[in-house]
Chains A and B, each alone.
Chain A
Amino acid sequence: MPPSIDLVALAIAIAAPIALMTLAWAFTRASRRRQEFTSPVDRQTYETLHTASRAARHLQKGLTAEGAPKVAKHLRTLLGTQALALCGSTSTLAWDGTGTHHRDQVWRLASEVLTSGHTVVLGAKEVACGDPTCPIRTAILVPVISDERVVAALAAYGPAASPGLVRATEEVAGWVSTQVELADLGPQRSRVVEAELRALRAQISPHFIYNSLAAIASFVRTDPDRARDLLLEFADFTRYAFRRGGTFTTLAEELGNIEHYLALEQARFGDRLQVSLLVAPEVLSIAVPYLAIQPLVENAVHHGLESKEGVGHVSITASDLGSEAEIVVEDDGIGSDPDVVRAVLAGVQSGDSVGLGNVDARLRQAYGDDHGLVVETAPGAGTRVTFRVPKFAPDIQPSSS
């Protein structure tokens, strides 16, 4: 192909996006970095906070063996000491700075702090080594306390220990304590969600089980075959609802469970309950939180039929939005007061909306605050509940029963 002006255009085709992207990246970086400081104090404050925030990044998962060396580096910058060590409850996690040969004695020195929980200042007699040029002559050992337990010790080493340095070291250890406590909150939150899921499983039972069994009983004489089918549906439903393990399932499985559920409700309501489904086959294999849609359907049946005369419609829609799927559960029932729904979603009040707040909380926990329930309702206008599920979310895999 002969070289021509068009080839240059293609060159731009490739170079332009790369250049643009690099520029954009550089700009955002620069605008964040290049702050004009009016005084040295400003700069000092900025640098201290910046170092602290960089250390905090490595404390996100608590004091871990991987994160500790990086944390130690930033903390030493913060304190300006010759060396700094971090001791976990079972071993020395990190040593940063000069005099690495002192690392072996840290554990022995720290054990007192770890048991007592008090600050200890040690002089040359306990700390110094044979080498006269070694600057490590004193140590300040401060406990890191999380949840009223000593979880680690912070040791600052230097030629001398001034009262100011002791105070500063204690402050830094206090800050680390707060970060470690924050890190502990993460797993705690997921434990809360697990507990909520257990609570939801328990919530399903009383009314629904009673009503289903009553409906089945009414068929035993008149239509034994139907009664048998319904009992099997009931068995399948409960097996799914009480299964163990895995907080995620596929949309197809969740729909299967809703089918069992609706078969039982239809036995009770007969033709009064009309269900319509519109499901994009592309999103059937998507991972959704287990029991995320069934409570919404239960809610819709509840609102669409129980307190209303005549036929009620419930529609379930799952559509493909590219990188996300949108799931909508809608009924044409009595609707409810938006303020009540708002209170239910905020967790202030549980109301008669079975599990609505629970589902909302679990969706937000799994996918972030953008993915909570959206409820559109007004008295007499029906209810429409919508949520979006990303097709891919890190750390989420469906597990089948």
Chain B
Amino acid sequence: MNTSFGITAISAVCLVTLTIGALGFRLSRTTSDFYVASRMVTPAWNASAIGGEYLSAASFLGVAGLIYSLGADMLWLPVGYTVGYLVLLLFVAAPLRRSGAYTIPDFAQARMESPAVRRLCSVMVLAIGWLYLLPQFKGAGLVLHTVSGAPLWVGNLVVAVVVLINVVGGGMRSITLVQAVQYWIKVTAISVPAFVLVSWWLHHGQPVPQVTALRPDQGWALPLSGFGGVEHPVYATYSMLLALAFGTMGLPHVLVRFYTNPDGQSTRRTTLVVLALLGLFYLFPPLYGAFGRIYLPRLPAGISPDSITLLLPTVVIPGVGGELLSAILAGGAFAALLSTASGLTICAAGVVDQDLVRGRLRRVTGNDARAINGFRIAAVAAVAVPFVLSLAARDLGLADTVGLAFAIAASTFCPLLVLGIWWPRLSTTGAVAGLLCGGVLAMSAVLTTVIGGLHGGWAGALLAQPAAWTVPIAFVVTVVVSMATPSRIPRGTARTMVRLHTPENLVLDRAPR
């Protein structure tokens, strides 16, 4: 592959990100007009921003990689990534906005009135954030390696540094406009090469995928056939869908965006637009998976399936055209993981700062430290941990790692949010029990698979895709413990419930207690 195109594209993306970060707030216009100054962010813009933050390396590269290597079952992956927002829209979006919470720990504090639940949530946010950052770093390594042949760690380092400069420099505070434009850049970057590939395919004989499987009943295009060695494909598929559908509501970097909406109604509208935007984006990754099977039925040695999207144009279209398309895709992938990584870092750093650093810093410096310094220290920690981990980890599928983060989010925050919003008898003890139980089960399932490797049979399937059993167990534990401890129902529950569920345009005394 021609190195210079790809490197140029990636450097351009990094440079633009840093420039926007450095300009930061100055991008917005100074005005003397109050009407202009106090214009709210519209649902359409905010939805684009959510799309920009959400579409990560896993979506850009990982989905195509999994469809390529595991076959038709993985078509549920883009569906799952999108359907999570439908669940969010139906059960969580508007009440969560009305609660006034900025993060999930905030919601826990507002609803459960307990600092203990808040701290527990903070730990979970950090775990999910780090787990989600890992594939972003690894994706960067992969992109840079595919484009230039550089060692994998170089890409990790580049992303870590760019994100750190951005966040610590106080630049990109995830400005809505910037993230919204990011979404459209990503859509363009993935769709233009796809359109070119499709027209190439139409004009060059329309070949069909040639897939040789070990067994005749296993086919790449055959649903639930266990292609690629997946055992119990029906269970695995449903469990994955469950994790994605219920995990989206627990993603820290997505939820903070909803705060930008002025009220519950506009939050619902935003979510609706997000569904449409993600639906649009996810039309394209499966195309790359399918074309991969047509034009590159056997992966060259030492190439991860995750880089299929980047390789494809150069394989299909000889010459400069293919190189250019490949460079566009590399740039798009880098933009995707930079924006997601920045958003996640800001969230993780916010949690570390608020619940771990700030108090300690104040004690050490005697109340002299500026608040921003705490955030900076926290940001370094938030980036350093997943960076070191990404150096240690190597061959994990991008979308797989992200799936694990979704499973943990679904087993912990989903019961808390759904029951917290819809069930007045949720008690503090029940919430803690559910969070601990879901978190410990999901994490240990992930750990067992990961340390002991994939086991065969049902045990292996249950451990590799834990959501189907950890999510129901977390719900049951939360409900049963809550029923057993009615004395620990937060005192302000009735009031909080009224606040969560009453539309803002009704005149109502919303002052808490």
Chain A interface residues (CB < 8 Å from chain B) = 1-18, 21, 24, 245-248, 250, 252, 255-256, 258-259, 262, 274-282, 284-285, 287, 315, 319-324, 370, 388, 391-392, 394-400
Of A6, A16, A282, which one neighbours B260 at CB under 8 angstroms?
A: A282
Contact, CB under 8 Å: B394 / A4: yes
Q: Tell me how far the C-beta of B509 lies from the nearest C-beta in chain A, rounded to whole angstroms.
A: 7
24 A-B interface contacts by CB (under 8 A) = A1-B396, A9-B393, A10-B393, A10-B401, A10-B446, A10-B450, A15-B447, A17-B130, A245-B509, A246-B510, A248-B511, A250-B262, A255-B37, A281-B40, A281-B260, A285-B40, A320-B25, A322-B173, A322-B346, A324-B371, A391-B102, A392-B106, A394-B109, A397-B511
Contact, CB under 8 Å: A3 / B452: yes
Of A1, A255, A388, which one neighbours B371 at CB under 8 angstroms?
A: A388
Q: Contacts A6-B394, A397-B512: A320 and B173 contacting too (C-beta < 8 A)?
A: yes
Contact, CB under 8 Å: A11 / B451: yes
Docked Cα-Cα span, A252 to B262, in Å, equals 10
> Which residues from chain B contact A4 at a C-beta distance below 8 Å?
394-395, 453
Contact, CB under 8 Å: B509 / A17: no
Residue of B nearest to A320 (CB): B173
Docked Cα-Cα span, A284 to B41, in Å, equals 9
Contact, CB under 8 Å: A1 / B454: yes
Docked Cα-Cα span, A7 to B451, in Å, equals 6
Q: Contacts A323-B350, A392-B106: A399 and B511 contacting too (C-beta < 8 A)?
A: yes
Q: Which of B341-400 contact A (CB under 8 A)?
A: 346, 350, 353-354, 356, 371-372, 375, 385-386, 389, 392-397, 400
> Which residues from chain B contact A1 at a C-beta distance below 8 Å?
395-397, 400, 454
> Which residues from chain A contact B327 at a C-beta distance below 8 Å?
none
> Which residues from chain A contact B453 at a C-beta distance below 8 Å?
2-4, 7
Of A6, A16, A246, which one neighbours B395 at CB under 8 angstroms?
A: A6
Residue of B nearest to A400 (CB): B504
Contact, CB under 8 Å: B38 / A21: no
Chain B interface residues (CB < 8 Å from chain A) = 25, 28-34, 37-41, 100-103, 106, 109-110, 113, 123, 126-127, 130-131, 134, 173, 175-176, 259-263, 346, 350, 353-354, 356, 371-372, 375, 385-386, 389, 392-397, 400-401, 404, 443, 446-447, 449-454, 499, 504, 509-513
Q: Tell me how far the C-beta of B365 lies from the nearest C-beta in chain A, rounded to whole angstroms.
A: 13
Contact, CB under 8 Å: A2 / B454: yes
Contact, CB under 8 Å: A255 / B38: yes
Residue of A nearest to B107 (CB): A392
Docked Cα-Cα span, A319 to B353, in Å, equals 19
Of B28, B259, B389, which one neighbours A391 at CB under 8 angstroms?
A: B259
Residue of A nearest to B105 (CB): A392
Docked Cα-Cα span, A90 to B37, in Å, equals 56
Of A13, A320, A322, which one neighbours B131 at CB under 8 angstroms?
A: A13
> Which residues from chain B contact A320 at a C-beta distance below 8 Å?
25, 173, 175
Q: Contacts A319-B25, A323-B102, A399-B511: A256 and B371 contacting too (C-beta < 8 A)?
A: no
